[in-house]
Structure 1
Amino acid sequence: MHTVDFIADLAKAIIALFIIVDPFGNIPIFVGLTEKIQPAHRRRVYNVAILVGVVLLLIFAFLGQEILLIFGLSIFSFEIAGGILLLIVSVRILSSSKSTHDEDVDSPESLGAVPIAIPLLVGPGAITTTIFNLQSYGIMVTIIAVIVVLAITWVILRYINGIYRVLGKTGALVIARAMALLIAAIAVQYILNGITHYITTSS
């Protein structure tokens, strides 16, 4: 019976985190962010993103509340900061030249860490869900859930190059510009959510 409960808790934790991370929904955004990068470097971007994502989620799971208390922060401040960061990214995509080459793009390590790992994969929602999983289901379930979800995400990203082959250079460029608008909208929503939640909890 204990094993059944463990499996049930693990399934709930994985599903909740996977829905929040939403790798399938973020595919067009990942395509837009990496359309100027060579395939080999693109793989490095995604490898770095997954590694950073796992480390960050585990750190926030175990130390998130303590970190927030030490610096006097709330999860809402992460929403606002993440929104501002994504807004900057969207402006950079929209203002970049079509002739920009791979060497002009941020390094794979930099792009993989920010903004792909954080705040796209590991945003306020993922951090909150991971902390909730730890409190509800325990350490083992939380660790396995994080590893499983980001392993699935890594597999999805590994096969994303097929999308580029279908789209071609022009298609990827069009997707990049279109997704920049979506990123901007997500950024504004992050900021509005953070402000709304802060006002609600402070009143």
Structure 2
Amino acid sequence: MKFNPKEILTAFMVLFAVIDIVGNIPIIIDLRKKVGHIQSEKASLIAGVIMVFFLFLGQSLLSLIGIDVNSFAVAGSFILFFIALEMILGITLYKDDASSGTITATVFPLAFPLIAGPGSLTTLLSLRAEFAIENIIVAVLLNVIVIYAVLKTSSKIERLIGPTGIQIIRKVFGVILLAISVKLFAQNIKALFI
């Protein structure tokens, strides 16, 4: 076991930026209004299980279809790049239908694909190309705790920081994510030409 606080912090920040749970507060509040109640514990737990499951089995699935981790990391860097652009510029390049009229909103679209979506799953495999798996697991668990806290207190957070505060947080994390996507691309593109 090689627990590395720097790797844990970096992986945590990357996942936090990609999941964008603070930026998703308006969507969470809208879902809560539509369905009446969201089970914060269940949504957080399901999202965490999906992410850890994909962290372990994602590489095997890739091997099965003949794709190496470096290629996936480069592809992941493009997804992170576009997510970062969305966050910084306030545009929508890809939008899922987040309408659900039943209690299943806790699982779909909240746990998947809003929290454990294509961006976070791709990011996990991209991180796996760079960091020790135990550090990524700790980062995932820390994110699940933050997700649970945000889901539980989403109304209070929205009132506290307001729409402007949410926009500022999104833009700051967007710039961090953009820098990380460039680094991920640069580090993994070399391996493809060796």
TM-score by length of 2: 0.58
Partner of 1:53: 48
8 Å CA contact retained: 1:54, 1:146: no
Alpha-carbon deviations, 1:60-98, whole Å to 9, x = none? Answer: 21x23222332424333223223324434554xx258xx
Classify 1:114/1:188 alpha carbon distance in 2 versus 1 (closer, same or farther; 3 Å): farther
2:85 is paired with a residue whose SS is helix
Q: Are residue 184 (structure 1) and residue 174 (structure 2) matched?
A: yes
Query: Equivalences for 1:1-203 in 2 at 5 Å?
Result: 9=1, 12=3, 17=8, 20-22=11-13, 29-35=20-26, 37-38=28-29, 41=32, 44=38, 47-48=42-43, 50-61=45-56, 63-69=57-63, 70-72=65-67, 73-88=71-86, 91=89, 94-95=90-91, 106-107=98-99, 109-110=108-109, 112-114=111-113, 116-118=115-117, 119=119, 123-124=123-124, 127-128=127-128, 132-133=132-133, 149=142, 152-161=145-154, 162-167=156-161, 171=162, 173-201=163-191, 202-203=193-194
Between stretches 48-57 and 105-114, larger displacement belongs to: 105-114
Distance 1:55 1:36 in 2: 21
TM-score (norm 1): 0.56
Deviation, 1:165, is 3.4
Distance 2:78 2:58 in 1: 17
Unaligned runs of 5+ in 2: 100-104
Residue 24 of structure 2 aligns to a residue whose secondary structure is helix
Alpha-carbon distance between aligned partners in 2 of 1:86 and 1:179, rounded to the nearest angstrom: 12
Q: Where do 5+ consecutive residues of structure 1 fail to align?
A: 1-8, 97-104, 137-141
Structure 2 distance, partners of 1:114, 1:90, is 21
Matched residues, number:
170
> 4+ residue runs of structure 1 moved beyond 6 angstroms?
none
> Is the Cα–Cα contact under 8 Å of residues 57 and 122 in structure 1 kept in the other structure?
no
AA of the residue aligned to 2:51: L
- Amino acid in the other structure paired with 1:58: F
